[in-house]
Amino acid sequence: MSRPSKREEIVQAGLKCLVEKGFNAVGVQDITDAAGVPKGSFYNHFPSKEALGVEIVERYGANQTRREILNDPTVPALQRLRRHFDRISALYADSHFTRNCILGGFSAELANQSETIRESLRKLYGQWTKDIEATIADAQARGDIASKAKASDLAAFLLDAYEGALLRARVERNRKPFDRFMKFAFGQLLV
């Protein structure tokens, strides 16, 4: 009789540890301890911590909640965009700004350290930007955003600015950077 796979437990424990502490502060032993599995189980499923990191980035990118909010045709596009950023901000505020953003945290930690994780992050930034771009294009088509700037440029700028606000909110341990982002993004840029 074969033993049940512990892969999912390892991924979930890895995600929890990496969100709490960051990639470089967590070892394989920390992950297997959190998963309640022997260290050998990790290597049965992943050749390295880097391989686990790639899977976590890919799962983070597959987050359907983000896409459901941005693509909900029953809600006006500009409102969907606002809900999207409000939801993410609430996740970090609810953690008292101690939660590590996989995208921002891994980008800062690993872009020059791991080519495979950097490439996964690049794809995730690209997909997320496309999702935001489609929502902005919808709002522009409806006349809700008067800006003639290309939707792709607005989307990239918003994501870049938001990731910066997220990093600063973690440093300041308050939501003022989120509030500034929302004020300028929705009060001046997307009008």
Per residue in 91-115, pLDDT (tens digit) is 888 888 887 788 888 999 999 999 9
Under a CB-based contact definition with an 8 Å cutoff, are residues 61 and 124 in contact? yes
Spatial CB neighbours of 128, under 8 Å, sequence gap ≥ 6: 61, 66, 103, 159
Averaged pLDDT, 39-50: 96
Cα distance between residue 156 and residue 128, in whole Å? 9
Q: What integer pLDDT is reported at residue 4 of this predicted model?
A: 64
Q: What integer pLDDT is reported at residue 26 of this predicted model?
A: 96
Higher pLDDT, 95 or 142: 142
Position 1 pLDDT exceeds 80: no
Position 2 pLDDT exceeds 60: no
Q: Considering the chain, what percentage of its residues have pLDDT values greater than 90?
A: 82
Q: What integer pLDDT is reported at residue 144 of this predicted model?
A: 95
Averaged pLDDT, 122-127: 95
pTM of the entire structure? 0.90
pLDDT classification of 183: cutoffs 50, 70, 90: very high
Tens of pLDDT, residues 56-69:
999 988 877 888 99
Cα distance between residue 21 and residue 104, in whole Å? 13
List the domains of the chain with CATH numbers.
7-46 (1.10.10.60), 63-189 (1.10.357.10)
Under a CB-based contact definition with an 8 Å cutoff, are residues 59 and 127 in contact? no
Under a CB-based contact definition with an 8 Å cutoff, are residues 182 and 82 in contact? yes
